[in-house]
Amino acid sequence: MFPMAVFNDFRREMDRVLGAFSPGNGRPFREGLYPPVNVWEDGEAFYLEAEIPGVDMKDIDLEVVGNELTIKGRREPVAGSEGERPTFHRRERGVGEFSRVVMLPTDVNPDKVEATLRDGVLTITLPKAERVKARKITVKTN
Amino acid sequence: MTTTAIRQPGSKETQPATARRHWTFVPVVDIVERADEWLVYADLPGATVDNIDINFERGVLTLHAGVQSRQDENKTNFVLREYGVGDFHRSFEIGEGVDADRIHAEFNRGVLTLHLPKSEFAKSRKIQIRTK
Q: What is the pLDDT of residues B74-98, one digit of tens each?
A: 899 999 999 999 999 999 887 778 8
Would the pLDDT of B3 be above 70? no
Q: By the CB < 8 Å criterion, does B3 face chain A?
A: yes
Q: Name the B residues in 63-82 with CB < 8 Å from any A CB.
A: 70-71, 76-82
Give mean pLDDT, residues A45-49: 97
d(CA B3, CA B85): 8
Q: By the CB < 8 Å criterion, does A14 face chain B?
A: yes
**Tens digit of each residue's pLDDT (9 = 90 or more) over B18-56:** 445 688 999 999 998 888 899 999 999 999 999 999 998
Q: Give residue A53's pLDDT.
A: 96
**Tens digit of each residue's pLDDT (9 = 90 or more) over A1-36:** 443 445 555 444 333 333 333 444 556 677 678 999
pLDDT band at B12 (very low <50, low <70, confident <90, very high): very low
Long-range Cβ contact pairs of A106-113 (< 8 A, separation 24 or more): A106/A67, A106/A132, A107/A66, A107/A67, A107/A131, A107/A132, A108/A45, A108/A46, A108/A64, A108/A67, A108/A69, A110/A64, A110/A65, A113/A62, A113/A64
Strand B111-117 vs strand B37-43: parallel, antiparallel, or unpaired? antiparallel
d(CA A89, CA B93): 14
Give mean pLDDT, residues A36-56: 96
Q: Name the B residues in 9-68 with CB < 8 Å from any A CB.
A: 25-26, 28-35, 38-39, 41, 43-48
Of all residues in chain A, the one with the smallest CA distance to B43 is A53
d(CA B128, CA A69): 60
Q: Give residue A12's pLDDT.
A: 44
pLDDT band at B14 (very low <50, low <70, confident <90, very high): very low
Check B2 against A19: CB less than 8 A apart: yes
User: What sign does the CA torsion over B47, B88, B5, A27 have?
Assistant: positive
Q: Is the pLDDT higher at B46 or at A135?
A: B46
pLDDT exceeding 90 applies to what percent of chain A? 54
CA distance B131 to chain A (A): 29
pLDDT band at A80 (very low <50, low <70, confident <90, very high): low
d(CA B39, CA A78): 10
Q: Give residue B21's pLDDT.
A: 67
Q: By the CB < 8 Å criterion, does B8 face chain A?
A: no
Q: Give residue A19's pLDDT.
A: 35
d(CA B4, CA A128): 28
d(CA B47, CA B87): 8
pLDDT band at B17 (very low <50, low <70, confident <90, very high): very low
Would the pLDDT of B8 be above 70? no
CA angle B106, B110, B114 (to 5 degrees): 30
Check A38 against B31: CB less than 8 A apart: no
Q: Give residue A25's pLDDT.
A: 52
pLDDT band at B73 (very low <50, low <70, confident <90, very high): confident
Q: Is the pLDDT higher at A126 or at A5?
A: A126
List CB contacts (< 8 A) between B72 and chain A: none
Q: Is the pLDDT higher at A15 or at B66?
A: B66
What distance lies between CA B100 and its chain's CA centroid? 18
User: What sign does the CA torsion over A65, A53, B91, B55 have?
Assistant: negative
Q: Is the pLDDT higher at A46 or at B72?
A: A46
**A119 within 8 A of B109, measured Cβ to Cβ:** yes
CA atoms within 13 A on the CB side of A139: 1
pLDDT band at B125 (very low <50, low <70, confident <90, very high): low
Of all residues in chain A, the one with the smallest CA distance to B32 is A88
Would the pLDDT of A72 be above 90? yes
